[in-house]
Amino acid sequence: VLLAHRGLARHAPENTLPAFVAAIALELAIELDVYQTRDGNLVVIHDPTVNRTTNGSGRVSDMTLDEIRKLDAGQWFHARFSGLKIPTLDEVLRLIREKQRRPVWIAINMKVISAGIEEKIVRLVEKHDLLKQVFAFGQPPESSRRFKLANPQLKTTVVKIYDSDHLNRTLTNPLADCLWVGFIPSRQQVDRVHRLGKHIWLSLQISQKRPDIWDQARASQLDGICTDWPLECRLHWQSQK
């Protein structure tokens, strides 16, 4: 599975509805980032501030949803996306549910662990009946435990695993439904992960166009690769057939 980092972010503004629509249309898995606003709403944006990806400035956590929704989140990328809004997590999950032709994986990353955010995410995932498709990654163990308290079925992830010893130690971790690795494990190691009913995802040189890494990951039969170049990776593999 190819996991489109922040949606199809080289073709539409990252972490916006058009970027996710494009990824869904191509049956790619989706990675997205979540923050909580000052008034307790969940929005999908990568940075702690709105400075880079909107025409505004300020920290997401210091702004209300209404303030954030007044910003233009598309003009910076291209004029044809002018007027685009920062989406709420509710909107993104609804979009995925409505547009997917078959279930796509959804990787949720909280950049800041704010009060009550785990339960709010779980309730939205339940609302849109996406529990089997979502895993949360990047959070510390205490946050994963809060996810499990909110719903034990929500998949949590141990990150970031850089070597075989760390991988082996993690296999017995009850919070490791998924493994997020920064190296390419052997086919035997991946088989062992799968026998335990877990999933394993590669996060290595995400921003770089690396066919060598894509090929090695495919050979090891990892569950997926997080990349900024999902289309190029797919075309590369198709050209080898």
Whole-angstrom Cα distance, residue 43 to residue 62?
13
Residue of 46, 166, 194, 236 marked active site: 46
Whole-angstrom Cα distance, residue 200 to residue 158?
10
Two structure tokens written together for 188: 């035997």
Distance (Å) of CA 179 to CA 75, 158, 190? 36, 5, 10
- Per-residue confidence in pLDDT tens, the chain, 241 aa: 999 999 999 999 999 999 999 999 999 999 999 999 999 999 999 999 999 999 999 999 999 999 999 999 999 999 999 999 999 999 999 999 999 999 999 999 998 999 999 999 999 999 999 999 999 999 999 999 999 999 999 999 988 999 999 999 999 999 999 999 999 999 999 999 999 999 999 999 999 999 999 999 999 999 999 999 999 999 999 998 7
The neighbour count for residue 208, using CB atoms within 10 Å, is: 10
pTM of the model: 0.96
Provide DSSP, the chain.
-EEEETTTTTTS-TTSHHHHHHHHHTT-EEEEEEEE-TTS-EEE-SSSBSTTTSS--SBGGGS-HHHHHTS-SSTTT-GGGTT--PPBHHHHHHHHHHH-SS---EEEEESS--TTHHHHHHHHHHHTT-TTTEEEES--HHHHHHHHHH-TTSEEEEEEE-SHHHHHHHTT-TT-SEEEESS---HHHHHHHHHTT-EEEE-SSTTS--HHHHHHHHHHT-SEEEES-HHHHHHHHHHH-
Whole-angstrom Cα distance, residue 100 to residue 213?
28
Whole-angstrom Cα distance, residue 197 to residue 176?
10
| Whole-number pLDDT of residue 159 | 84
| Whole-number pLDDT of residue 195 | 97
Of 77, 28, 75, 89, the closest CA to residue 228 belongs to 28
Whole-angstrom Cα distance, residue 240 to residue 30?
25
| Whole-number pLDDT of residue 111 | 87
46 in active site: yes
- Length of the chain counted residue by residue: 241
Beta strand pairing call for 29-36 and 42-44: antiparallel
